[in-house]
Amino acid sequence: MTRIMIVDDEPLITDSLTYSLQREGFEVSSVGDGAMALQAIEDFQPELVVLDILLPGMSGLEICRRLRTKSNVPVIMLTARGEEIDRVLGLEVGADDYLSKPFSFRELLARIRAILRRVEIDRQATPAKSLEMGKLNLDAVARRVHREGKELILSAREFDLLSFFMNNAGRALSREELLAQVWGDDWVGDPRTLDVHIRWLRLKIEDDPASPVYIQTVRGHGYRFAGPEELA
């Protein structure tokens, strides 16, 4: 049974989501205190986290930031309606998706299923077992990435994005193709999430993120990952 952790301090939301998600066949746990959330997540080991930004004790942004230092569990952040800065910051600290309050349960359920479906597809796929380019080594089976021997902690989306880039090194990829391949054809959300994830990937894999060598911008089209000959 797939485990989902809800981190929100509004009992009406946690109780309603717990009941509705359990009816959909999920195992659900919830916590309402930000300071307790990281330990609760570690104890429960969920396959996905629904995380509110405004929490007592510790903000959802800080929880996500700390979570990303040791886990790539998918995170859907809940933000106040109209608070664009919250959505952008949520993506920047490693969230996989966001949803503005108030939201319908059906919309949240669709986002959850889309992310979990993508994770399952990745698990069943049979890409090259290992890719090595420049200073990077990507292990597709273990879903681990090392840079000069040091492991990088990537979110699920960051890993999928880097894997797709490395498997298509040297080819210019449009924004539409990247979103479809990494987020899925049925994904509904802000297309700027692609730029945020690429910015975070650059911070982790580039010597100088301001002058990227690996992930290059193709003006008016999208991005490309440097070919093997460029990185030799």
State pLDDT tens for residues 6-43. Answer: 999 999 999 999 999 999 999 999 999 999 999 999 99
State pLDDT tens for residues 64-122. Answer: 989 888 888 899 989 875 566 566 666 677 788 888 888 899 999 999 998 888 777 66
Dihedral through CA 164, CA 168, CA 173, CA 177, nearest 10?
A: -50
Query: What is the Rg, in whole angstroms, of the alpha carbon atoms belonging to the chain?
Result: 18
pLDDT value for 231: 86
Instruction: State pTM to two decimals.
Output: 0.62
Count Cα neighbours of 230 within 13 Å in the Cβ-side half-sphere: 13
Architecture of domain 127-231: Orthogonal Bundle (1.10)
Architecture of domain 3-123: 3-Layer(aba) Sandwich (3.40)
Q: Cα–Cα distance between 18 and 27 in angstroms, integer?
A: 9
DSSP string of 155-221, one letter each residue: -HHHHHHHHHHHHTTTSEEEHHHHIIIII-TT--S-TTHHHHHHHHHHHHH-SSTTS-SSEEEETTT
Residues 98 and 79 sit within 8 Å (Cβ to Cβ): yes
Q: Cα–Cα distance between 169 and 216 in angstroms, integer?
A: 11
State pLDDT tens for residues 111-160. Answer: 999 888 877 766 665 555 688 999 999 998 788 899 999 999 888 888 98
Instruction: Give residue limits of the domains in the chain.
Output: 3-123, 127-231
According to DSSP, the residues that pair with 131 across neighbouring strands are 138
Q: Cα–Cα distance between 212 and 61 in angstroms, integer?
A: 26
CA distance readout (Å), 85 to 52, 102, 182:
14, 17, 24
pLDDT value for 87: 62
Q: Provide the pairing of β-strand 3-7 with 27-31.
A: parallel
